[in-house]
Amino acid sequence: MTKLTHIDADGRAKMVDVGEKAVTQRVAIARGAVYMLPETLSLIIDGNIKKGDVFTVSQLAGVMGAKKTSDLIPLCHPLPLNQIKVSCQANVEKSCIEIEALARVSGKTGVEMEALTAVSVSALTIYDMAKAVDREMQIADIRLVYKAGGKSGEFRAADFNEAGLVE
């Protein structure tokens, strides 16, 4: 059975010591979605949400969120991100906005939490901007779909499609 890295021998939470780990190139991609009424999605696509351009604001919020990950998640190391890209795309068929975040770092620990935080903050921003017209929106499906670098190597979700949203 795999041992949890953030728990000490006495069962207490601890921050992992990465001092002896090698600096490697690390990347993570996370995805999620915000499901909404078709009418709400149409308002967003047409730019008719009173708070402004939902796509641009939520993408910027995702970038800002990724940069604040260690302030939000107690045991995350602060990372000097090399890159964070967030993309939001309307999916009319599913009546949702799909979100994808890619995070890169040259470091001793991975960037999975930064990618997941970017997607989460982007989704929350979409909800905030459109809640006046649709309080039943659902934030869903937030998950890691790809990571590479570090001792544990590469991870690909079974349904990972490299032709994602992020360029």
Q: Looking at the annotation, which residues are catalytic?
A: 128
Two structure tokens written together for 153: 């190597």
The C-alpha atoms of residue 101 and residue 78 are separated, in whole angstroms, by: 18
98: helix, strand or coil: strand
The C-alpha atoms of residue 67 and residue 78 are separated, in whole angstroms, by: 8
Residue 163, phi then psi, degrees to nearest 5: -85, 65
The C-alpha atoms of residue 70 and residue 91 are separated, in whole angstroms, by: 31
